[in-house]
Structure 1
Amino acid sequence: MGRTLYQKIVGSHTAFHVDENHVGLYVDLHIMNEYTSPQAFAGLAEKDLPVRCPEKQMGVVDHVIPTHPVARGERLILVDAAAQQAANFTRNCHKHGIHLFDITDPEQGIEHVVAPEIGLIRPGMVVLCGDSHTTTYGALGALGFGIGTSEVEHVLATQTLVYRVARDMRIRVEGELPPGTTSKDLVLTIIAKIGAQGARGYAVEYCGPAIEALSAEARMTLCNMTVEAGARGALIAPDDVTVAYVAERIRDLSAAQIAEAAYQWRQLKSDDDAQFDVAFDFDARDVTPFVTWGTSPDQAIAIDARIPALPDDAVERDNIVKALDYMGLSAGQRLDGLAIDHVFIGSCTNARIEDLRAVAAVVRGRKVASSVRAMVVPGSGLVRAQAEREGIAQALIDAGFEWRQPGCSMCLAMNDDVLAPGQRCASTTNRNFEGRQGRGARTHLMSPTMAAAAALAGCIVDVRKEA
């Protein structure tokens, strides 16, 4: 019987077998941030253990850092607890010889934006990080997934992880995305269809003409949010798009070495007779701009639809009523025309240069509504610099957006970019949980172009009608 891409990557990285369901997985690259690593380093110190492979670790300060629009060299973390967290992280990285993208580093940014753009993510790798959106790297044919703090410690000490092997799911997407829609709309559509637990316990492989037509960055958005369906990984087989993206960014290999590697990368795919445990089929031609209405990413509808009626099932009904009460909405209501207070464009889901180009195309020559505070936080220092070179930053500033320094920012309320209770935000992030962007704050997930259109209109609108 043939093997899936997921099975091939796990098989090539199995250092030892634990039992029928668990293996010791070798880790090619381990990425850390200041938020999920302190206890792991403390555990190493208590056991007097070194970091096994410092050269296979990478550190980025991204969660707690403010994104104020000041000069890079003037960036400071003013909250004492956050500053101490970042300082401890810096000290630990330096102590163990781990490369760190610190707060003033020109390449600092969100970990899941920085790693691919500097050529560290390559097809066939296993990449771990103490952050659930490590699934992003499946866009480049690498198996990435998030781990807990105790597992971070284990990886630092051994460069391996005791890993429960997942089941295989295939999601095939036929057709072509219609104008005005993006991979963000596609993944919101998929999550809404299969549910927030629909891929729980599975590694998802995406395939089909619609996936092949996506850029590498659009694929990152897709794989990034697949974890919101409970997936333990997301993968797309490497192709010419993958090879071109990775080869352009690699810094440590010669052209001949890259050409040899590219040949191997193209062989990484599921066998024709590989068996998947579950399979779903979608048609991209059915995708429309999607917006979340509730407090879970699967609670989403097309912009021209209405919030669903309350179900008969008592438990499901209570959950939906709770979400609607929190969001200040009601069943049967339309989202088109719903007033917003804030627009946030950023996060590891949608803060790459391709996203910012799309936003600039919508807002260039127009103005943000006077009732809205709108901010754009680029995913990294390199993205920020490129956007400034291309005139994107100036177009955003002229339109009335705040142009800020890189970081996780308002994706989660761990820094000073926080919404006030009751504020409603059109957001390009990946989660709309209660309190995610601030206590009592209300988040509507959508694509960058939809968020841009909302900023101009002062309410949620269909970008296809605003272009």
Structure 2
Amino acid sequence: MTPQPRTLFDKVWDAHVMATRPDGQALLAIDRHLLHEGSFHAFGMLDHAGRQIRRPELTFAVADHYVPSRDRGGPIPDPEIANMVSTLADNAGRHGIRHFGLDDRAQGIVHVLAPEQGLTLPGLTIVCGDSHTSTHGAFGALGFGIGATEVAHVLATQALWQRRPKTLRVGIDGVLGAHVTAKDVILAIIAGVGAGGAVGHVLEYAGSAIRGLSMEGRLTICNMSIEAGARAGMIAPDDTTFGFLEGRPYAPKGALFERAVAAWRLLPSDEGARFDREVTLDAAAIAPTVTWGTSPETALPVTAAVPDPGAEADATKAGQMRAMLDYMGLTPGMPLESVAIDRVFIGSCTNSRIEDLRAAAGVLRGQKAAVPGLVVPGSGPVRRQAEAEGLDQVFRAAGLEWGEPGCSMCVGINGDLVPAGERCASTTNRNFPGRQGPNARTHLMSPAMAAAAAVTGRLTDIRRLGSR
């Protein structure tokens, strides 16, 4: 009997199902469990129940969300944050968990650190108490965020009950235009399917435009899958994936690596595999993109104008648009390129890798920023590589600050905030009210676009600045 063609998701899911309940939920084996400072709730649950960690060698702790991006030399000045960082170290130490703390050369944002350390591998199941765990799907892994109770469950059992999601393939064929990046691609996808358009699904990104992306670009794409409501995002592993992984600290070595690659080559979706839904986009139609509202789905080509709620037939949606425009301080019909900004932020688990910093520095080299800004590398290795290439000097010469690795201004819980009422050109993944600070206004875009905005002091089509 000929086997039924299976998707990439099917293959990874099926390989990890340990049991299935009558209600259809499956008990999944978890290969990697990533923790950050917020995990203290889960450790408290384990302590209360008198439980131990089932597989500490498969759990990895990373200080990233609350850590300061400035003045790392001394004690953390905020006592609450200092306590969270030290509690993570204490919990990791007493349970024998590998801890990437502030004094570790590999420290960084968990979703940057794990791939570059080789902890993220094709075919694995990966969970973390953070919604952007979808990032790891760039390698053909199944990565998704979990809540505090689920974190405790995985710590205690190295398994998790989950209901099988549906599948949605997003195919993007063709060639991306000049200065169009992975960030523009994923913003265009989210604008097309909507912020809730992929709820209950795992996305698989496919097509020649996706295959043509670097691993950094693929990580950006999968990172923002959650912004379309998806449970996870995945990209089939290929030679680009294998080349990135070879030699990484936690990746297989020598003959084991070759055996792993042979197995990984079987993971891509089979010819004829069926998806619950399919969406296609033309790569050539995607332009440098920015958001105008308080949801990633409010993404438009930077050459467009702020939309008019009066032209929206759906009264509920029109009301939402008016509320967004009021919060963002924008007027219908304004050209997006006329919108002045107050500062820029380049960083986050979406866009803080070396390729991102090179793109931003390419725009800023020899220029002076018209507004203040902060550039935060995603990890210690990224920071050292950027400094070896002189990128930090480019940022500093332009008038921007150069920070230490961490989540920084993406989330506004670590001291890096956009002041109330200010408008930030940001490479982050979320723009809801208050995300970067109380009453902060966030416009999402690529690193090159954020750098262009820094130079001009307004939202700017990078293509107008020419090749830099």
Structure 2 length-normalised TM: 0.97
- Distance (whole Å) between structure 1 residues aligned to residue 332 and residue 430 of structure 2: 21
- Distance (whole Å) between structure 1 residues aligned to residue 377 and residue 51 of structure 2: 37
Q: Deviations over 1:383-410 (max 9, x none)?
A: 0000011111111111211111011000
Match of 1:397 in 2: 396
Shift of residue 277, structure 1, vs aligned partner: 0.5
Q: Give the 5 Å matches for 1:44-443.
A: 44-68=46-70, 70=71, 72=72, 74-251=73-250, 253-310=252-309, 311-369=312-370, 372-443=371-442
CA contact (8 A) 1:75 1:103 kept: no
Give, as a single letter, the amino acid of the residue that structure 2 aligns with 1:332: G
Q: 1:162 is paired with a residue of what secondary structure?
A: strand
Q: Deviations over 1:243-279 (max 9, x none)?
A: 1111132446332111111111111111112111100
Q: Does 1:24 align with 2:23?
A: no
Shift of residue 312, structure 1, vs aligned partner: 2.4
- Distance (whole Å) between structure 2 residues aligned to residue 252 and residue 301 of structure 1: 39
- Distance (whole Å) between structure 2 residues aligned to residue 381 and residue 134 of structure 1: 20
Q: Deviations over 1:306-359 (max 9, x none)?
A: 122211222111111111100001222211031111100000000000100111
Give, as a single letter, the amino acid of the residue that structure 1 aligns with 2:337: D
- Distance (whole Å) between structure 2 residues aligned to residue 110 and residue 334 of structure 1: 35
Q: 1:336 is paired with a residue of what secondary structure?
A: helix
Give, as a single letter, the amino acid of the residue that structure 2 aligns with 1:353: I
- Distance (whole Å) between structure 2 residues aligned to residue 338 and residue 443 of structure 1: 12
Q: Does 1:6 align with 2:2?
A: no
Shift of residue 22, structure 1, vs aligned partner: 1.0
- Distance (whole Å) between structure 1 residues aligned to residue 168 and residue 74 of structure 2: 44
Q: Deviations over 1:130-185 (max 9, x none)?
A: 00000001111111000000000000000000011100110000101101110100
- Distance (whole Å) between structure 1 residues aligned to residue 302 and residue 22 of structure 2: 48
Change (3 A) 1:122 1:340: same
CA contact (8 A) 2:27 2:162 kept: yes
Higher mean C-alpha deviation, range 313-322 or range 167-176: 313-322
CA contact (8 A) 1:75 1:104 kept: no
Q: 1:249 is paired with a residue of what secondary structure?
A: coil
Change (3 A) 1:11 1:20: farther
Give, as a single letter, the amino acid of the residue that structure 2 aligns with 1:18: R
- Distance (whole Å) between structure 1 residues aligned to residue 251 and residue 151 of structure 2: 26
Shift of residue 84, structure 1, vs aligned partner: 1.3
Give, as a single letter, the amino acid of the residue that structure 2 aligns with 1:59: A
Q: 1:321 is paired with a residue of what secondary structure?
A: helix
- Distance (whole Å) between structure 1 residues aligned to residue 251 and residue 320 of structure 2: 51
Give, as a single letter, the amino acid of the residue that structure 1 aligns with 2:27: G
Q: 1:456 is paired with a residue of what secondary structure?
A: helix
- Distance (whole Å) between structure 1 residues aligned to residue 206 and residue 190 of structure 2: 16
Higher mean C-alpha deviation, range 142-151 or range 12-21: 12-21
- Distance (whole Å) between structure 1 residues aligned to residue 174 and residue 11 of structure 2: 28
- Distance (whole Å) between structure 2 residues aligned to residue 148 and residue 88 of structure 1: 19
- Distance (whole Å) between structure 2 residues aligned to residue 178 and residue 161 of structure 1: 42
Higher mean C-alpha deviation, range 100-109 or range 14-23: 14-23
- Distance (whole Å) between structure 1 residues aligned to residue 368 and residue 215 of structure 2: 30
Q: Deviations over 1:391-444 (max 9, x none)?
A: 111111112111110110000110110111100000000000000000000000
CA contact (8 A) 1:183 1:218 kept: yes
Structure 1 length-normalised TM: 0.97
CA contact (8 A) 1:29 1:57 kept: yes
Match of 2:36 in 1: 33
CA contact (8 A) 2:424 2:443 kept: yes
- Distance (whole Å) between structure 1 residues aligned to residue 332 and residue 76 of structure 2: 42
CA contact (8 A) 1:170 1:280 kept: yes
Identity %: 49
Shift of residue 41, structure 1, vs aligned partner: 0.3
CA contact (8 A) 1:31 1:58 kept: yes
- Distance (whole Å) between structure 2 residues aligned to residue 41 and residue 251 of structure 1: 25
CA contact (8 A) 1:66 1:76 kept: no
Change (3 A) 1:228 1:112: same
Q: Deviations over 1:8-42 (max 9, x none)?
A: 1010001111235310000000000002x111000
Shift of residue 300, structure 1, vs aligned partner: 1.3
Change (3 A) 1:251 1:233: closer
How many corresponding residue pairs? 461
Higher mean C-alpha deviation, range 392-401 or range 143-152: 392-401
CA contact (8 A) 1:114 1:380 kept: yes
CA contact (8 A) 1:124 1:141 kept: yes
Q: Deviations over 1:346-378 (max 9, x none)?
A: 000000001001111111111111xx1111000
- Distance (whole Å) between structure 2 residues aligned to residue 430 and residue 136 of structure 1: 11
